[in-house]
């Protein structure tokens, strides 16, 4: 406890120096920080073993930011934004080494009897996961590696399985196999569902008060989230293909659809959100059937996609829309069902066989680590995965798995 208190105090800034001691301590604070800024992680750790004062001094967030920004999943985005300012940077770098080395402890959070195709989202200390035609909300226990026994809430309304859902503006926006979209208020019993498509709604996204949906009926639609206009379609877009994935740009000016690549030559197309008109398509020379199962914007000008052709592709709209700037191939030729990034160097993917979760360092071509979560004969795709700086959660056909990188 005392060591934790010391590191927490040091994280706020350099400690008060002793009244007497070696000449090193008498250097101006700015100069000492400059000298220590040239040290790597190992050297800072050794310096911290000299005495208590240096231990506290070398725990200062200022000295660890540079190292953290180059580390995997340390809470810093590529632009340097700190997403976890309340947690000491040194502690995050420690856990980051477990991600780099693949050190973790596997566990199972939930089990269900019937085979499912679950989707999930994280928000704060809560986990939302779909099971059949319900969405269940659970609270994490303090360790983050276990859940409360009973769900905090149950959100119903669909007649068939929930295919996909997102959290937005204290709402759950769900897409169902019954062709309907559900709007649920998280902190009340308010629920509305309306017919959206002629066949199952495979995907949905919501930002800035706008909902976009994609369906097996080969259309994408735009809807308002405003309570008085729910169910009023703003645009209907004929995609000529089944829509498997969809995402709204952070600028709220456009959205991208990932389709089956059967009826149209490009599985990735960007549409204007206000007019519904096609703006551009991404890539060229896709083989038939190279459908995109997951797509996400990382910044307004960059996005990632994955799917049936076994590749993760990184697109930068500022350079070219005809060729991706980076790609990573699934080494066992498996379909990639889902992906997630830390906004910086770490990329995680879920494969179609044996519940394989792969971690990638985006500065390298080869896979960093692979974690098979099932074995024959219970092979299952990873339908959805999410992670924090300490844990990774993967939803499979029969179980919700956790990989604990904080306490391996």
Q: What domains are there in the chain, each with its CATH number?
A: 25-100 (1.20.1280), 103-404 (2.130.10.10)
Residues facing residue 28 across a β-bridge? none
Inter-residue contact 254 to 270 (CB < 8 Å): yes
Res 120 pLDDT > 50: yes
Q: How much helix, strand and coil, in percent to the nearest 5, is found in the chain? A: 15, 40, 45
Helix (H/G/I), strand (E/B), else coil: 314:
strand
Angle, CA of 367, 370 and 371, to the nearest 5°: 165
Taking only the tens place, the pLDDT of each residue in 323-374 is: 999 999 999 999 999 999 999 999 999 999 999 999 999 999 999 999 999 8
Taking only the tens place, the pLDDT of each residue in 157-196 is: 899 999 999 999 899 999 999 999 999 999 888 889 999 9
**More confident position, 103 or 80:** 103
The whole-angstrom separation of Cα 72 and Cα 124 is 21
pLDDT band at 15 (very low <50, low <70, confident <90, very high): low
pLDDT computed for residue 227 by the predictor: 81
pLDDT computed for residue 188 by the predictor: 85
**Residue 359 structure tokens:** 């971690």
| The model's pTM | 0.91
Q: What percent of the chain stands above pLDDT 70?
A: 93
pLDDT computed for residue 190 by the predictor: 84
Res 379 pLDDT > 60: yes
pLDDT computed for residue 263 by the predictor: 82
């Amino acid at each position: 406890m005392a060591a934790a208190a010391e590191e927490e105090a040091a994280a706020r800034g350099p400690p008060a120096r002793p009244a007497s001691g070696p000449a090193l301590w008498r250097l101006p604070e700015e100069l000492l920080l400059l000298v220590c800024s040239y040290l790597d992680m190992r050297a800072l750790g050794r310096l911290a073993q000299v005495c208590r004062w240096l231990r506290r001094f070398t725990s200062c967030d200022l000295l660890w930011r540079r190292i953290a920004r180059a580390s995997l999943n340390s809470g810093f985005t590529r632009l340097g934004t700190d997403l976890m300012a309340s947690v000491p940077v040194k502690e995050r770098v420690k856990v980051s080494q477990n991600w780099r080395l693949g050190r973790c402890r596997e566990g199972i959070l939930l089990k269900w009897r019937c085979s499912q195709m679950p989707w999930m989202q994280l928000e704060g200390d809560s986990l939302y996961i779909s099971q059949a035609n319900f969405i269940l909300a659970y609270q994490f226990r303090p360790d983050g590696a276990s859940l409360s026994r009973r769900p905090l809430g149950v959100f119903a309304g669909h007649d068939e399985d929930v295919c996909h859902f997102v959290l937005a503006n204290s709402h759950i926006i769900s897409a169902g196999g019954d062709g309907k979209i559900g709007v649920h208020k998280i902190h009340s019993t308010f629920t509305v569902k309306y017919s959206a498509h002629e066949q199952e709604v495979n995907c949905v996204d919501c930002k800035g008060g706008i909902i976009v949906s994609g369906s097996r009926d080969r259309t994408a639609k735009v809807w308002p989230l405003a309570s008085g206009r729910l169910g009023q379609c703003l645009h209907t877009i004929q995609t000529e293909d089944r829509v498997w994935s969809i995402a709204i740009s952070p600028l709220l000016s456009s959205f991208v659809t990932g389709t089956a690549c059967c009826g149209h030559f490009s599985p990735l197309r960007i549409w204007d959100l206000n007019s519904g008109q096609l703006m551009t398509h991404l890539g060229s020379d896709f083989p038939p059937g190279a459908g995109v199962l997951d797509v996400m914007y990382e910044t307004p000008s960059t996005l990632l996609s994955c799917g049936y052709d076994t590749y993760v592709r990184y697109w930068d709209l500022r350079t070219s829309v005809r060729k991706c700037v980076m790609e990573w191939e699934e080494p066992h030729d498996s379909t990639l069902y889902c992906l997630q990034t830390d906004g910086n160097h770490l990329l995680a993917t879920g494969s179609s066989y044996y519940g394989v979760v792969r971690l990638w360092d985006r500065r390298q071509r080869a896979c960093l680590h692979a974690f098979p979560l099932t074995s024959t004969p219970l092979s299952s795709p990873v339908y959805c995965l999410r992670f924090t700086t300490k844990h990774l959660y993967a939803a499979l056909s029969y179980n919700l798995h956790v990989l604990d990188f904080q306490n391996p």
